[in-house]
Amino acid sequence: MEQIITAKLKLEVRPEESEILLGTLSAFRNAMNYLFAENFNDKSTNIRTVHSKYYTLLRDKFNLPSQLAVSSERLLCSTTKTLWSRFKNQKDKAVLKTVPKYKQLSAKYVINRDITIKTESMVCSITTLSGRIKNIPLKGWRKHYSQIRAGKLGDPTLSYDKKSKTFYLFLPIHVLVEEKSPQLAVGIDAGIRTALTAVSSTDTTKTYHIPETAKAKKAEFGKLRGDLQSKGTRSARRKLASVSGRERRLISDVTHCLSKQVVSDFQDARIIMEDLTGIRERTKTYRKNPEDRRQREQWNFAELQFKIGYKSVLYNGIESLKKNPAYSSQTCPVCGFCSPKNRNRGAETFRCLQCNFEKNADIVAARNILSLGLFVN
pLDDT digits (tens, 9 = 90+) for 162-176: 889 999 999 999 999
Nearest to 13 by CA among 126, 103, 116, 107: 126
Nearest to 328 by CA among 264, 294, 279: 279
Cβ count near 125 (within 10 Å): 14
Chain segment 101-158, per-residue pLDDT in tens:
999 999 999 999 999 999 999 999 999 999 999 999 999 999 999 999 999 999 999 9
The answer on 288 and 145 residing in a single domain is no
The answer on 206 and 139 residing in a single domain is no
Domain span at 196 = 184-210+263-374
String of DSSP letters for 126-166: EEETTEEEEEEEEE--HHHHHHHHHSEE---EEEEETTTTE
What band does 375 get if pLDDT is binned at 50, 70 and 90? Answer: confident
Q: Is the model's pLDDT at 377 over the cut of 50? A: no
Chain segment 176-189, per-residue pLDDT in tens:
999 999 999 999 99
pLDDT at 295: 52
Average pLDDT, the chain: 89
Contacts of residue 48, Cβ cutoff 8 Å, sequence gap at least 6:
none
d(CA 115, CA 99): 30
Give percent above pLDDT 90 in the chain.
65
The answer on 157 and 29 residing in a single domain is yes
The answer on 157 and 204 residing in a single domain is no
Domain end position, chosen among 176, 197, 218: 176
Chain segment 8-26, per-residue pLDDT in tens:
999 999 999 999 999 999 9
The answer on 201 and 92 residing in a single domain is no
Q: Specify the number of domains making up the chain.
A: 2
d(CA 80, CA 77): 5
The sign of the CA dihedral 26, 32, 38, 40 is negative
What band does 159 get if pLDDT is binned at 50, 70 and 90? Answer: very high
- Which run of H or E residues covers position 83? helix 66-89
pLDDT at 343: 85
pLDDT at 253: 93
Q: Pairing state of beta strands 2-11 and 115-118?
A: unpaired
What CATH number does residue 368 fall under? 3.30.420
d(CA 310, CA 5): 8
The answer on 202 and 172 residing in a single domain is no
Alpha-helical runs (H) found in 184-278: 212-231, 234-265
Q: Is the model's pLDDT at 196 over the cut of 90? A: yes
Mean pLDDT of 301-308: 90
pLDDT at 163: 86
Identify whether 132 is part of a domain. yes
pLDDT at 157: 97
pLDDT at 302: 85
d(CA 203, CA 187): 10
Chain segment 53-86, per-residue pLDDT in tens:
999 999 999 999 999 999 999 999 999 998 888 7
What band does 218 get if pLDDT is binned at 50, 70 and 90? Answer: confident
Beta bridge partners of 111: 115
Give percent above pLDDT 70 in the chain.
92
d(CA 302, CA 66): 36
pLDDT at 285: 53
Chain segment 256-299, per-residue pLDDT in tens:
999 999 999 999 999 999 988 766 555 555 455 565 555 555 56
Mean pLDDT of 226-246: 86
The answer on 97 and 190 residing in a single domain is no
Cβ count near 231 (within 10 Å): 12
pLDDT at 73: 96
pLDDT at 311: 95
The answer on 100 and 189 residing in a single domain is no
